[in-house]
Structure formats: C-alpha cells, structure tokens
Amino acid sequence: MHPNILKIKENIEPLRKQIINHKVYNAISEIEDLQIFMEHHIYAVWDFMSLLKSLQINLTCTTLPWFPVGDGVTRQLINEIVAGEESDIDATGNVKSHFELYLDAMEQCGANVNPINNFLISLKNGRDFDMAYELAKVPQAAKDFMNATFETINSSKTHLQAASFTFGREDLIPNMFFSMVNDLNSTQPDKVSIFKYYLERHIEVDGDHHSHLALAMTEKLCEKDDYFWAEAEETTKRALQNRIDLWDAAYAEIIKNKVPA
C-alpha cells in the first residue's frame, strides 16, 4: 500500500474511532429509534451516489461524441464501482441502486420517506438546494453534510472527490449496529429484513471489493503530488467530521423522542 495512503489512514483514525464508537448506536433500541436514524442517514446515502457520479463524469467520457478520457485503469476502477452501486440487486433479485434499496428499507421500517422524496422532486424541478431544503424540511445537519459534499464535488478536483469517497464514506458502521439490527430483525423481520439485507450487501460489496478499488483510484489520482496528498487528507478529515455532526444530530433527535412530552 502507498505510504501516503497509510499516512492518511493513521491521521484520520481518531475521527474514524469517534464515528465507530458514536453514542447514537447504543441509543437505537426500538424501531422508532431506527426510523429517526434512517431519516438522517438517507441524505448521506444519496450524496454518496452524487459523489460517485461526479467521479464518473470527471474521469470518463459521459458526453457525445465519445473520446477516451484520462487513464484507462482509472476509468475501469470508477466504472466498476458505479455499476455495483447504481445497479445492484435486492433480496428478490430486482436490479436497484443502493439508494433505492435504502428507500425500500425505510418504507418497510415505517420511516418517513416524504422529506427525501420531496427534496429530490424539488431538485428535479429545477429548484436550487436552498429552496429544496426548505420545501422538504431537511434537518440542518443533513443540509450541512450535503453542502460540504457538494463543495467537494463542485471543486472539480478529482483527487479530493476520490479521497472523500474512499476514506470518508459508508464503511464506518460498527459491529454493535449489526447486532442491534439482527436483534430487531429476529423479532420484527417484517420491519427490518430489507435494512438487514442492505447492510449485508453493503459490507459484501462496498466494504471489501469497492474499498480496494477506491484506494487504487485515490492513489492513481494523487500519485507523486505532495500537495494533492495534503489536500486529500484535509478533505477526508472534513468529511469525517461532517459524519460525526450528522450522527450527533440523529442522536439528539432519538433522545428527544424518548423523553415523554
């Protein structure tokens, strides 16, 4: 593994530990708690897809007429990740993106999908982000999370997009969370089975194979440029802190919901 990859891993470990050991996981004990968590997390799942597509747009040819763009190995890496994330299969064999699978899990669980759906409808109808946030009543922490991600996207710096995608994203769910979901699924499979499948599929695809591809992509894009590596580390740290802030907000809402009115 490239020494700069190892350096980033070492320097971000305190932030990763804060996420993996976050108190939000221990706070989730009932279906209602999981609903609140998912209603916050869905925005991170969505902008993960947006970050991924920004990499594909910048690293491959997505316009006509077609021309070979960039490095062939990098094209191969990003296209393979996109195929897995955008066109995976659900538990019954239907082809779906991981975002759509997560929405299915939310609906089965009884979580409120109206805000995320309204947010996306507003964007499709040409509203800007601020207006879409307002119309959908998006939680403030989710707004901040997405704004930070789209700042990285809009920078058009592929090494920063790759670093945020590789180190700051969806592989930070601890074992205790899986245990909690398994416990809920054992008593209420009609509410949690899809989410359980999502997590299992996520670990199988994202946490292993895709993580290796993403590391290779980040290394390829930063290569021998020390400034790129330094920028990549700072972007990664910001992404992880934004995740902590999102988890803090979910935790606060869960605790608030537990207190009798």
% residues pLDDT > 90 (the chain): 73
- In a domain, residue 261? The reply is no
- As a whole number, mean pLDDT of residues 29-34 equals 93
Query: For position 208, what pLDDT does the model report?
Result: 63
Specify whether the CB–CB gap between 163 and 223 falls below 8 A.
no
Q: What is the pLDDT of residues 189-209, one digit of tens each?
A: 999 999 999 988 877 776 666
- In a domain, residue 171? The reply is yes
Give dist(CA 259, CA 197) in Å, integer.
31
Other Cβ atoms less than 10 A from the Cβ of 89: the count is 11
DSSP codes of every residue in 27-89: H--SHHHHHHHHHHHHHHHHHHHHHHHHHHHHHS--SSS----S-HHHHHHHHHHHHHHHSEE
- In a domain, residue 199? The reply is yes
CATH number at residue 64: 1.20.910.10
Pick from 231, 203, 215: nearest CA to 73: 215
Query: For position 183, what pLDDT does the model report?
Result: 87
Cis omega before residue 65 (within 30°)?
A: yes
Query: For position 207, what pLDDT does the model report?
Result: 60
- In a domain, residue 205? The reply is yes
- Which range marks the domain in which residue 61 is found? 3-256
Q: Is the per-residue pLDDT at 170 higher than 60?
A: no
Q: What is the pLDDT of residues 152-166, one digit of tens each?
A: 999 989 999 999 998
Domain count, the chain: 1
Q: What is the pLDDT of residues 74-83, one digit of tens each?
A: 899 889 889 9
